[in-house]
Amino acid sequence: MSRRTSRMLIGVLSVTTIVGLSAYAIAHRKAPVKGATMLAATADSSAAAPTTKPAKDAAVATDDRPNQDAPPVTPPTVRPKATLAMAVAKPSAMNALAEGKAKLDAGTLVAGRKLLNDALMSGQLSDAETAEAKRLLADANKSIVFSTRSFDGDEWCGTHTVATGELLQKIAARQGVTADLLLRINGIADARRLRAGATIKVINGPFHAVVTKHAFTMDLYLGGPAEKGSQFVTTYPVGLGREDSTPSGSWVVEQRVTNPKYYSPRGEGIIEAGDPKNPLGKFWIALTGTDGNAIGKQSY
């Protein structure tokens, strides 16, 4: 496989560390993807979800003209419009959370996921509600995204009929995902078994991610992270570099290596793949910093 064919980028990633990344199942190989996907790293946990900041309190209406005869009058309290709007939006988001869970329990997974995702992206959920919405969404996406099942009305997953001579690697590159992922969600053990005329499940990638440093987590999205129209997929645990060696900024995923050797910068020599002392595990994701504190950095 040529270097050009093997190159693929992942997506925008608000993160502080990708060492020990357990999302290897969806990391992308080096293959050309239309529009370079980037990884943006931030040390601020505010990147994990959008927030709505209320406007300054509205002034209270008062009458300043003197009136010695009349008793003092307490002016009516005027509730700021922004606060009122938030008071309305909060129950709406909470209702969507309850309704979304009810639909998931009833087996209407795509509709339930949409309600939960809309509530999550609204920025109106509390921390506890946000965690619950993400848990429910991740569980639903085990079936909607990562299983062999296809669902009507799913805007992120669809089907593709294999043309004569069409390779799975090319299908995956066009979708912005890996061939390994397409094999997995279609229950295919070997890409050579793919036959012309077969209908397979595909994902409209690429994936993007947001790593929150203080929580040691990576949130995975389809579409721009935490943007309108994006879809929260799941959360993975991640490890962070020692001594704050996890700079914030934007990163591009350059390469994904299976069973990598570890070339120790601490004088330990070369540690072979499979060795329990190898800190890289089964996969290595090579990164290049492109923005913020990541500029010029080649590891994370």
Q: How many residues does the chain have?
A: 300
The model carries a pTM of 0.69
How many Cα atoms are found within 13 Å in the side-chain-facing hemisphere of 65?
3
Q: Please report which helix (H) or strand (E) contains residue 131, including its range.
A: helix 127-144
Whether the pLDDT of residue 235 is over 60: the answer is: yes
Host H or E run for residue 121: helix 109-121
Whole-number average pLDDT of the chain: 76
Q: State the pLDDT at residue 90.
A: 57
3-state secondary structure 63-95: CCCCCCCCCCCCCCCCCCHHHHHHHHHHHHHHH
The pLDDT tens digits for 243-284 are 777 788 778 788 889 999 999 888 889 999 999 999 888 988
Whether the CB-CB separation of 194 and 168 falls below 8 Å is answered with yes
Which range among 7-11, 257-261, 286-290 shows the weakest confidence by mean pLDDT?
7-11
Taking only the tens place, the pLDDT of each residue in 157-192 is 999 999 999 999 999 999 999 999 999 999 999 999
Q: What is the mean pLDDT of residues 73-89?
A: 50
The answer to whether 121 touches 93, Cβ cutoff 8 Å, is no
Res. 221: pLDDT tops 60? yes
The count of other CB atoms within 10 Å of the CB of residue 156 is: 19
Q: Which residue has the tokens 């939960």?
A: 116
Beta strands in the chain (DSSP E): 13-14, 39-41, 157-161, 199-203, 207-212, 217-222, 231-237, 249-258, 262-263, 270-271, 283-292
DSSP type of residue 30:
B
Reported as a single tens digit per residue, the pLDDT across 111-131 is 999 999 999 999 899 999 999
